[in-house]
Amino acid sequence: MLKIGNKASVFGGTMIIAGTAIGAGMLALPTISAGMWLWWSLGLLYVTWILMLFSSQAILEVNLKYEPGASFHTIVKDNLGKFWNLVNGLSVAFVLYILLYAYVSGGGSMVVHTTSSIFGYEPPKFISGLLFVLLLTACVWWSTYVVDRISAVLIGGMVLTFVFAMSGMIGEIRLPLLLDSSNDSGGYGIFVFVALSTYLTSFCFHASVPSLVKYFGKDLKSINKCLVYGTFIALVSYIVWIIACDGNILRDDFKEVIANGGNVSNLISVASSGLNGVFLIRMLESFAFLAVATSFLGAGLGLFDYMADLCGFDDSRLGRTKTMLVTFLPPIIAGMIYPDGFLLAIGWAGLAATIWSVIIPALLLKASRARDSKQERVLPGGSFSIYFLLFFGIVVGMCHILFVFELLPMYK
């Protein structure tokens, strides 16, 4: 991790939080928020940011009672017992598996889109998804060092292409589109509930909190700054992204994207159709591809290490091959059978993430404060904040379940 000399760097910690939060999940935001459009989207972003920041502060407050290096699982088991530790572990594994499937779907669609736009040839989605995932899976199988080096390059490229693409898209914003002045398809606020789980997924970084405690020691002020600054960078990035998309894409055009499962390539196609200049279009395509690839490597490595520990596989080539099959075969098969499930998968990830990033942190803090009412407070608001986090988590979970059973209105 980044350090200045022998001293932990707030800048480095901030980049860890921002880098963990920002990824391919943001590509689903404009599509899932097409119904509520601009103002409701920005409002929901702000509320989600605040509450996800609060839940990370809840983890931090409990984590500071332990020696640096204590894992999230250790803290959950000690405060909530074996049952909640099992629930937490299953939730984390499910999130990572479903995200890998989403990235197989998104990566495959981007390979098809890029090949078609540059070479005029559209390969089968099955082959495209397989090529995308096999190349990146090989990196994870080879070593963590390879993933580290490649991720650094990909993240650098993602930042540059994002800056170029957003500066161009912001410059071409059409105000009537941004404000949806020709709206004749109904209201906006009713579509908020279906977007909750996807928005929550975009602010998930909570497994990094114990890593920051290990990095900084019990330096509360520095760690809290990292949480605030890192999540704020994610918030600003998402605001810019949604404004750029809403200002360049007709609201009705999102219906086609939604009908195709919210796949990344469909979003990039409609976003590119109104842009001037090949360079700008290529930057947008490159950003989307790099975001998916970077997120795949991050989630893949996390699940790879988790499954190796769970299954007891060693670090030999044979052991890593076994771990690779357990880790990547299920999402690859799912991606081959159902290649257009990017938006749906991100939503399911949000449902599981609600458990370990909102509900469990609130329960953790409640149990910890019951043990020691005089512990140093990080999360403001007293008991109200704890119960409000629980309420938020339950609402997000219920809304996603209602959406699955088609009991919530979806813009389409």
Q: How confident is the model at residue 238 (pLDDT cuts 50, 70, 90)?
A: very high
- Per-residue pLDDT, 4: 38
- Per-residue pLDDT, 64: 92
For the chain, what is the total number of helices (H) and then of strands (E)?
17, 2
Which amino acid type is present at position 239?
I
pLDDT digits over 42-59, tens only? 999 999 999 999 999 999
pLDDT digits over 96-129, tens only? 899 888 888 888 888 888 788 777 777 877 788 7
- Per-residue pLDDT, 396: 94
Q: How many CA atoms lie within 13 A of 401 on its CB side?
A: 8
Percent of the chain whose predicted confidence (pLDDT) is above 70: 97
- Per-residue pLDDT, 3: 43
H or E segment at 66? Answer: none
- What is the third-level CATH fold of 8-404? Amino acid/polyamine transporter I (1.20.1740)
* Residue ranges of domains in the chain: 8-404
Q: What DSSP string describes 152-221?
A: HHHHHHHHHHHHHHHHHHHHT--HHHHTTTT--S--SGGGSGGGHHHHHHTT--GGGHHHHHHHH-S-HH
Question: Token match 């893949």: residue?
Answer: 300
CA 31 vs CA 134, 191, 214, 234: distances in Å = 28, 12, 37, 18
Pinpoint the alpha helices (H) of 65-143: 72-119, 125-142
- Per-residue pLDDT, 342: 82
> Are 358 and 393 contacting, i.e. CB atoms less than 8 angstroms apart?
yes
pLDDT digits over 395-408, tens only? 999 998 898 888 88
Q: What's the alpha-carbon Rg for the chain, to the nearest Å?
A: 21
Q: How confident is the model at residue 7 (pLDDT cuts 50, 70, 90)?
A: low
> Are 261 and 125 contacting, i.e. CB atoms less than 8 angstroms apart?
no
Percent of the chain whose predicted confidence (pLDDT) is above 90: 34
How wide is the angle at C-alpha 198 spanned by C-alphas 195 and 204, nearest 5°? 140
Does the pLDDT of residue 6 top 60, yes or no? Answer: no
Q: How confident is the model at residue 5 (pLDDT cuts 50, 70, 90)?
A: very low
pLDDT digits over 334-373, tens only? 888 888 888 888 888 888 889 989 999 999 999 999 988 7
Which amino acid type is present at position 46?
Y
Mean pLDDT calculated for residue range 232-255: 93
